[in-house]
């Protein structure tokens, strides 16, 4: 054990030893790794911690995901997983129900939702998974944070009628921060070993049928500095169609189609990739042999404006483009 480890290291180690769930163990290990000073004397320790961490992360991946008591992780389906969080009674379940058509308890008393409810939101030719959660507030149970931690996008749903929009938001931000989850507008850090998990987040302010957003302009401008802000009325269905497009856009994904030479593309089943992915990334997703043998690629667009344009392997694909691989 090398000397001069900071006290925070031992605190994290203690939390590691006392952790009761896999997630808490993983989190504590990540923090130990991040705190560990970088010098020769800690190289071996670092390697040991990383090995242990990889083991636990693998274990978490393999754990049964359906049935049983394990609600700490909801299996991802569709093009992305989006969680809806917020204070009690802001309209989370109403919002969820309108987008997914899945029934969930909607009630005018707080804390009506006690289990996660999962539903699929259709958007054009894809499906996006939404999760309705109990309110994020004091005493929120830790499994809820574990579900949030694995999501691709967080919707912070606030209530236009609240007289404390900013405080509501800051409270949610703090609660997440305590669990080492950070909301970011774009480009989340993707390092799986990072001690703080960054996830893309947006603010959606509900119940604009009751109060005009213009009345809260100053508060909203402050929120805008943190995250993108959208306005809806889930109950009256205002801006809800646009919301689907916004959710798709905020997930930062692209749809790509492939076609065989001489055949039309299959526009029903797009491949889903992160924005910024290249031709090679698509090829890898389709079949690894394609990457090995790829001679050239031609680009098409749905509107027919581009037909068979040769493109480089590192060409960055855009939403709804069509690729024709030649091997
Ligand atoms: N006026 C108005 N009421 C809403 C809206 N959305 C939800 N509500 C009401 O707010 C209350 C709480 O809704 P619910 O979806 O259960 O909130 P949750 O606790 O955040 O899941 C219910 O009485 C809803 O009918 C809205 O857009 N406008
Ligand atoms: Mg609810």
Asked whether residue 68 carries a pLDDT value surpassing 60, the answer given is no
Do residues 102 and 162 both lie within one domain? yes
Question: Cα of 200 to ligand 1 centre, how many Å?
Answer: 24
Q: What string of DSSP letters covers 107-122? A: -SSTT---S-EEEEEE
Q: Final residue of a domain: which of 232, 250, 268?
A: 250
Do residues 201 and 291 both lie within one domain? no
- Kindly report, residue by residue over 182-211, the tens digit of the pLDDT: 999 999 998 888 999 999 999 999 999 999
Residue 1 falls within a domain, yes or no? no
Cβ atoms of 197 and 181 within 8 Å: the answer is yes
Q: Is the CB of 234 under 6 A from ligand 1?
A: yes
Query: Residue 278 carries which DSSP code?
Result: B
Residue 2 falls within a domain, yes or no? no
pLDDT band at 138 (very low <50, low <70, confident <90, very high): confident
pLDDT band at 62 (very low <50, low <70, confident <90, very high): confident
CATH code of the domain covering residue 91: 3.40.50.300
What are the beta bridge partners of residue 323? Answer: 258, 299
Neighbouring C-beta atoms of residue 13, cutoff 10 Å: 17
Rounded to the nearest 10 degrees, how much is the dihedral formed by the CA atoms of 76, 78, 79, 83? Answer: -50
Do residues 278 and 229 both lie within one domain? no
Q: Is the CB of 225 under 6 A from ligand 1?
A: no
Residue 76 falls within a domain, yes or no? no
Asked whether residue 322 carries a pLDDT value surpassing 70, the answer given is yes
Question: Cα of 155 to ligand 2 centre, how many Å?
Answer: 14
Mean pLDDT of the chain: 91
What is the average pLDDT across 144-172?
95
Q: Final residue of a domain: which of 202, 235, 250?
A: 250
Choose one of 92, 108, 232, 235 to mutate for the ligand 1 pocket test, by most ligand atoms within 8 angstroms of C-beta: 235
Terminal-residue alpha carbon distance, the chain: 55
Of the spans 35-49, 186-200, 308-322, which averages the highest pLDDT?
308-322
Do residues 236 and 277 both lie within one domain? no
Do residues 115 and 225 both lie within one domain? yes
Q: Final residue of a domain: which of 250, 283, 300?
A: 250
Question: Cα of 229 to ligand 1 centre, how many Å?
Answer: 19
Do residues 93 and 174 both lie within one domain? yes
Handedness of CA 289, 292, 295, 297 (dihedral sign): positive
Q: Is the CB of 205 under 6 A from ligand 1?
A: no
Which residue's alpha carbon is nearest to atom 14 within ligand 1? 91
Of the spans 33-37, 59-63, 218-222, which averages the highest pLDDT?
218-222
Q: Is the CB of 91 under 6 A from ligand 1?
A: yes
- Which numbered ligand comes closest to the C-alpha of 236? 1
CATH code of the domain covering residue 277: 3.10.20.30
**Non-local CB neighbours of 98 within 8 Å, separated by 6+ positions:** 234, 237, 240
- Residue 108, both tokens: 């005018």
User: How many structural domains are present in the chain?
Assistant: 3
Question: Cα of 257 to ligand 1 centre, how many Å?
Answer: 39
Do residues 132 and 267 both lie within one domain? no
Residue 161 backbone phi and psi in degrees, to 5: -80, -15
Do residues 25 and 38 both lie within one domain? yes
Tell which atom from ligand 1 comes closest to the C-alpha of 232: 27
**Non-local CB neighbours of 150 within 8 Å, separated by 6+ positions:** 73, 74, 76, 81
Domain range enclosing 26: 7-62
Do residues 244 and 280 both lie within one domain? no
Choose one of 86, 94, 159 to mutate for the ligand 1 pocket test, by most ligand atoms within 8 angstroms of C-beta: 94
Q: Is the CB of 149 under 6 A from ligand 1?
A: no
Question: Cα of 153 to ligand 2 centre, how many Å?
Answer: 18
Residue 125 falls within a domain, yes or no? yes
Burial (0-12, 13-18, 19+ Cβ within 10 Å), 31: buried
Question: Cα of 234 to ligand 1 centre, how many Å?
Answer: 8
Residue 243 falls within a domain, yes or no? yes
Residue 69 falls within a domain, yes or no? no
CA distance linking residue 114 with residue 54, whole number of Å: 32
Q: Given this model, what pLDDT does residue 69 score?
A: 42
Question: Cα of 246 to ligand 1 centre, how many Å?
Answer: 21
Which residue's alpha carbon is nearest to atom 17 within ligand 1? 91
Cβ atoms of 104 and 243 within 8 Å: the answer is no
Question: Cα of 15 to ligand 2 centre, how many Å?
Answer: 32
Which residue's alpha carbon is nearest to atom 8 within ligand 1? 91
Cβ atoms of 228 and 245 within 8 Å: the answer is no
CA distance linking residue 12 with residue 24, whole number of Å: 11
Do residues 182 and 308 both lie within one domain? no
Residue 196 falls within a domain, yes or no? yes
Residue 158 falls within a domain, yes or no? yes
Tell which atom from ligand 1 comes closest to the C-alpha of 94: 15
Q: What string of DSSP letters covers 152-181? A: SEEEEEEETT-TTHHHHHHHHHHHHHHTTE
CA distance linking residue 229 with residue 213, whole number of Å: 11
Asked whether residue 158 carries a pLDDT value surpassing 50, the answer given is yes
Do residues 102 and 176 both lie within one domain? yes
Cβ atoms of 147 and 82 within 8 Å: the answer is no
Do residues 240 and 264 both lie within one domain? no
């Amino acid at each position: 054990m090398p000397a001069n480890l900071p006290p925070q290291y031992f605190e994290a180690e203690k939390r590691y030893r006392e952790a009761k769930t896999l997630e808490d163990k993983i989190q504590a290990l990540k923090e130990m790794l991040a705190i560990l000073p970088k010098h020769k004397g800690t190289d071996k320790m670092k390697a040991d911690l990383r090995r242990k961490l990889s083991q636990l992360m693998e274990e978490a991946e393999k754990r049964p995901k359906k049935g049983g008591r394990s609600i700490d992780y909801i299996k991802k389906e569709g093009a992305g997983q989006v969680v809806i969080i917020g204070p009690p009674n802001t309209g989370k379940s109403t919002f969820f129900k309108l987008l997914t058509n899945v029934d969930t308890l909607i009630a005018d008393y707080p804390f009506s939702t006690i289990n996660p409810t999962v539903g699929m939101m259709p958007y054009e030719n894809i499906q996006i998974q939404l999760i309705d959660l109990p309110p994020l507030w004091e005493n929120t149970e830790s499994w809820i944070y574990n579900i949030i931690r694995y999501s691709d996008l967080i919707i912070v749903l606030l209530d236009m009628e609240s007289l404390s929009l900013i405080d509501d938001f800051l409270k949610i931000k703090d609660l997440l921060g305590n669990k080492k989850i950070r909301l970011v507008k774009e480009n989340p850090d993707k390092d799986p070993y990072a001690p703080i998990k960054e996830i893309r987040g947006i603010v959606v302010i509900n119940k604009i049928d009751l109060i005009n957003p213009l009345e809260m302009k100053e508060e909203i401008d402050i929120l805008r500095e943190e995250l993108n802000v959208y306005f809806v009325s889930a109950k009256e269905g205002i801006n809800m169609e646009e919301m689907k497009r916004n959710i798709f856009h905020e997930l930062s994904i692209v749809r790509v189609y492939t076609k065989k030479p001489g055949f039309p593309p299959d526009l029903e089943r797009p491949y889903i990739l992160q924005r910024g992915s290249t031709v090679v990334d698509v090829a890898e997703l389709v079949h690894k042999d394609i990457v090995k043998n790829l001679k050239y690629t031609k680009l098409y667009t749905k509107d027919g404006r581009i037909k068979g344009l040769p493109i480089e392997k590192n060409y960055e694909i855009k939403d709804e483009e069509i690729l024709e691989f030649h091997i």
